[in-house]
Structures are given as C-alpha cells and as structure tokens.
Amino acid sequence: MAIDARVRGQLEKLTPEERLEQRCDIEAMDEISAKGGFRPDKVIAYAFGDPKLDGTTFKTKGAVFRSKGEWYRLSYKCETSPDRLEVNAFKFQIGDQVPHEDWAAHYLYD
C-alpha cells in the first residue's frame, strides 16, 4: 500500500535500517486492518524476539500488534524497494492473543 507524503517525509529522516522496520510496521497495520476484525494502532517488531534484516528484507517471528486494547502475536516477512519506502512483497500471520500477565515482561501496555 502506498504511503502519503507526510509519512514518506518522516521515513526519509530515518536511517535505512530504521526506515525498513518502520515502513514494514506500517504495512503490517494496513494489511491487518484490510483483513478485517482488527483495528491495529501499534506494531512492535521485536517484542518476543529479534527481527532479521537482510538488505531490503525484514523478517520477524516475535512481533506483536495492539488492536482494541489487546495485544496479539504476529510474524511477517516484508520486502521493500531499495530506498525502503515502497513494499514489494508482504506476508504475515496473526498468532494468539498475548495474556495480560505477559505484558509487563515484554514492555506492552494498553
């Protein structure tokens, strides 16, 4: 999904690695919203494990997203253009809801 000029301008201020992660997190929220049933307002790529970066590819099995005040596990693979502003390929899988008692250990909040 294309991003608006304001978001593009903000992303361009980041390092290439930060831009890749942020752009992929934005895509994750867009894709999850399009699937229906969720209204994600935050994605954290590293809550349950470190993501893997390889050039313009970002993969994480330890991500989470927040929707309607609850956190859910998420894994995704995101491939971007060389400038890391356009998403060329995106695959994701939504996992289980994160129990409230696990939130503090993973720095999650409502």
Residue 90 pLDDT > 70: yes
pLDDT reported for residue 1:
67
pLDDT mean across residues, the chain:
95
What's the pTM value of the predicted model, to 2 decimals?
0.92
For 39-106, list the strands marked E by DSSP: 40-44, 52-54, 57-67, 70-80, 87-97
What dotted CATH number matches 5-106? 3.10.450.630
> pLDDT digit string (tens) for 24-43?
999 999 999 998 899 999 99
Provide the pairing of β-strand 40-44 with 87-97. unpaired
